Structure 1
Amino acid sequence: MGRLIGITADVYLGATDVINQKLMDFVPRPLVDGVIAAGGIPVGLPNLPVDKVNQLIENLDGIIFPGGPDIDPSFMGQEPIPELGVTNRNRDLFEIALIRTAVAKKIPIFGICRGAEMIDVALGGTLYQDLGSQYSGKLIQHKQQAPGDQPTHFVRVDFNSRLYKSIGDNVFVNSRHHQAIKSVANGLKVVATASDGVIEAIENDDASIQAVQWHPENLWKKDSQQLTMLRNFVERTDIKVI
């Protein structure tokens, strides 16, 4: 049997045409297909009350935290700035509890875009609520106008990282974010950056925690490096210890 890989759901905050459904939980299909191609069995995880997290996590081998809305800055002890976008505090609470529980139980986790930011915040790091207004350096374009399945900028990857072993260096990636990691949580390290210095990937020493700012789910069909990265994550779930 393949490894069971949970994917946390985003929430469509409006009503849909599907059976008059409101607050619909959904996971991105390209990521579902990517996990299957990487050898895992994807399992969608709807946002649940925090007290259900321990029970939920028992049967999972790994968890992916994908993209989504901005993160509530109160979890960093900050007030919202005017440039902050839509947030969903309920999803934040669920994912923070899930991240902390997974780390405590040594269940491998992987973050994508917001997921990278959420992992950092859950473990004690901070974000730029808005790169454009808060970053002190000169920025490249991080919210691309090109289609999402096309790469638009390069990232440099630390030679000594597990990420380097998966994808190498000078990797061409896509980009659609206006938030980003500012200070890295204890136990994590920066393993990739854009040419402007913006953090593009983090991991811990054994890569049981790894996260990237770009969207490999939209690139893996044309870029074997991105599929290798997902496959290596699925393979790491074999080391789970509970």
Structure 2
Amino acid sequence: MMKKIGIASNHLIHPTERFGTNFVDYIQRDYVTGLRQAGTLPIVLPLGDPKDAEDYISGVDGLLLSGGQGVTPILYGEEPLAEVAETDIYRDQFEIALIKAAQKAGKPVLGICRGMQVINVALGGNLYQDIYQQAGATEKHNQYPTSWEIPTHHVTTTDDSWLREILGKRFAVNSFHHQGIHEPGSQLKVVAKSDDQVVEGIESSDGRIIGVEFHPEMMRATHPEFQKIFDYFAKLAQVDK
């Protein structure tokens, strides 16, 4: 039987021409495809009440957290800077509850871009609200309008890390963010950085929680090596803790 991976959905905050209300929960198809290709059964989890997180996690074997809005700074004890763009505290609070429930249940978690950032906040870390103003970033970490599947800057991984194991010491990635990890949360270590020292990968001390700042789901079709991230995560879900 295939392992079930819960994907926490994003939430359409603003009405669109097609959807006249904001009552829409969704997930980009690329995340689903990556998990399916890894031999798992993706289950999209609608935005819910944090008190229901343990029930949601009880029905899956792992949790994937996708990209999207910035994480609300007040959740890690800071007042928002002017550079902070759209946030969604309801999504933040629900995903933080999901992460804590998954950790409690010993189920693996994969965070991608925003997903890695919210993992860090959930485990007591904080973020740079703007990596250019606060961390001195010099590279282009939001490549728009360059097509999303094209790698645009390099990262270097640390020895004995999960990313070094599957993708090697140095490789190019895509990039769509202006926030980033500042101080790592409890039991988290940094396993990859860009050349301007922005955190690009994390791993928990038990190896059950992993994250990347780039978007492998967007690159995997044209750069198949990035499917290895989903394959690695699927293997974590095969191991019961």
**The two structures share one fold, judged by TM-score above 0.5:** yes
Alignment gaps of 5+ in structure 1: none
Change (3 A) 1:14 1:201: same
Secondary structure (helix, strand or coil) at the match of 2:23 reads: strand
- Using the alignment, how far apart are the partners of 1:22 and 1:194 within structure 2? 36
Matched to 2:140, the amino acid is Q
Match of 1:52 in 2: 52
Match of 2:77 in 1: 77
Match of 2:160 in 1: 160
Match of 1:235 in 2: 235
Secondary structure (helix, strand or coil) at the match of 1:75 reads: helix
Match of 2:127 in 1: 127
Match of 1:139 in 2: 138
Change (3 A) 1:144 1:19: closer
- Using the alignment, how far apart are the partners of 2:217 and 2:210 within structure 1? 15
* Number of residue equivalences: 240
- Using the alignment, how far apart are the partners of 2:189 and 2:97 within structure 1? 21
- How far off its partner does 1:15 sit? 2.2
- Using the alignment, how far apart are the partners of 2:55 and 2:110 within structure 1? 20
Aligned residue runs from structure 1 range 163-174, under 5 A: 163-174=163-174
Match of 2:38 in 1: 38
- How far off its partner does 1:206 sit? 3.4
Q: Contact between 2:191 and 2:202, CA under 8 Å: does it hold in 1? A: yes
Q: Contact between 1:63 and 1:108, CA under 8 Å: does it hold in 2? A: yes
Query: 1:150-187: CA deviations, max 9, x gaps?
Result: 10011001121122111112111000100000111120
Secondary structure (helix, strand or coil) at the match of 1:84 reads: coil
- Using the alignment, how far apart are the partners of 2:116 and 2:161 within structure 1? 16
- Using the alignment, how far apart are the partners of 1:240 and 1:63 within structure 2? 14
- Using the alignment, how far apart are the partners of 2:122 and 2:7 within structure 1? 17
Query: 1:178-202: CA deviations, max 9, x gaps?
Result: 0000111120100000000111000
> Does structure 1 residue 8 correspond to structure 2 residue 20?
no
Query: 1:105-163: CA deviations, max 9, x gaps?
Result: 1100000000000000000001011112211x351110113111110011001121122
- Using the alignment, how far apart are the partners of 2:19 and 2:162 within structure 1? 45
Alignment gaps of 5+ in structure 2: none
Secondary structure (helix, strand or coil) at the match of 2:117 reads: helix
* Identity across the alignment (%): 35
- Using the alignment, how far apart are the partners of 2:191 and 2:53 within structure 1? 29
Query: 1:75-125: CA deviations, max 9, x gaps?
Result: 111111111111100000100111011111110000000000000000000
Q: Contact between 1:108 and 1:240, CA under 8 Å: does it hold in 2? A: no
- How far off its partner does 1:17 sit? 5.1
More displaced stretch, 221-230 vs 180-189: 221-230
- How far off its partner does 1:51 sit? 1.3
Match of 2:149 in 1: 149
